[in-house]
Amino acid sequence: MDRVGIIGVGMTKFGERWKKGLRDLIAEAGLKTIQDANITGDKIDAIYGGSMSAGRFVGQEHIGAVIADSMGLNPIPSSRVEAACASGGLALREAYLSIKGGEYNVVVAGGVEKMTDSCTEEASLTLGGAGDQEWEVFNGATFPGLYALIARRHMHEYGTTEEQMAEVSVKNHANAAKNPLAQFQFEVSREQVMKSPKVADPLKLLDCSPITDGAAATVLASEEVAKEYCDDPVWIDASAQATDSLAVHDRKSITGLNAAKVATEKVFKKSSYDRSEIDLAEVHDCFSIAELCALEDMGFVKKGEAGKAMEEGRFNLNAELPINTSGGLKGCGHPVGATGIKQAIEITKQLRGEAGKRQVDEAEVGLTHNVGGSGATAILHILSGGR
């Protein structure tokens, strides 16, 4: 069966984009990716756009139509997909499957969120909707609170320390400082993370990803078309998705995300690569503990050992396995609908050798790990520049 390749990528700067509206962000990212693909709009067959909650953030629904309209791509079919913070990853997966299944040849997969038009309290309530509204949000649980429970249990069972969690933010800020499109282009120290205000004990402000505006887009194409338009397509080698219970209290364990474990096994079973061949990964670090859990869930370290490995620097830029070279959600920012696409863009740039100061030496195979809510959805992709 023909492969599916990424032939174009584009994204806005992530951050507090006060002078840009939702349509502006969509148009900017869309134009960049179409130009990067060197393709014209009449060659595009469909659009899949990830957006978690534009209706609550900016009062705009019918996002599929908004995306096509903003990009000047009417009347092609345009669909909005939603999987909370994994909406972007889902858009990429749906675009991939639509080409893999033979329905389309060229598809745009994108994501967008305009979050800062809402006050912090409203944004927190909206984000809370990615969890269990009846049993968690109604009873006062916030997302920092839910991940704080995960962190506390992980600390209790495996001896993980707050200092080890802080190293996640230190690493990701160091990478973001090298990324001109990142929200936070500055480094932080472990001491700064530890002294930052507590949000939900043991998580502090610098353990948490920010509220962010931004958009990102990719152009995917069938193998024949990809080779026609691009000398070096990045191939989507495998894609997988899994789900778990919405409420944290219904899960068998809260020290890891079972959906991520299942999706990992699926994606490697489908892939022509194994774990040892992964050169770098973009993982979902909405909170520092989430990155540690992700590394364990995906089998890159044994359960309970991610904190120690992080402290040893094993996931730093050009170390054993570089993680979140973009800066991750923590440093680059987290416009929830766009995050999964941004992850794929970072891997694509790395495999093309276009990541600038954060370029990983001899990167050939990368992985993206995108999580919805507190772990009810997990979507993984393996991307390669060869074979």
| Catalytic positions | 85, 334
DSSP category for residue 116: T
The tokens describing 242, both together, are 């899994």
Among residues 171, 165, 198, the alpha carbon closest in space to that of 288 is found at 165
Distance (Å, whole) CA 260 – CA 242 = 7
| Site of tokens 């993680």 | 323
Cα separation, 94 vs 370, whole angstroms:
14
358 by DSSP, 3-state: which? helix
Q: List, in order, residues 6 or more apart from 360 with CB less than 8 Å away.
A: 279, 280, 317, 318, 322, 325, 350
CA angle 25, 184, 333 (to 5 degrees): 50
Please choose, from the candidates 47, 86, 56, the residue with its C-alpha nearest in 3D space to the C-alpha of residue 337: 86
Q: How far, in Å, CA of 195 to CA of 198, rounded? A: 8
Q: What is the dihedral of CA 330, 332, 337, 339, to 10 degrees?
A: -90
Alpha-carbon distance values, 54 to 8, 64, 92, 182 (Å) = 25, 11, 19, 22
Measured on CA atoms in the order 34, 40, 42, 44, is the torsion positive or negative? negative
Structure tokens at 31: 């134009």
- Determine how β-strand 78-81 pairs with β-strand 46-50: parallel
Output the CA angle 346-180-373, nearest 5 degrees: 50
Helix (H) or strand (E) holding 366: strand 365-372
C-beta neighbour count of 195 within 10 angstroms: 12
Identify whether the C-beta of residue 219 lies closer than 8 Å to the C-beta of residue 37. Answer: yes
What does the chain come to in residues? 387
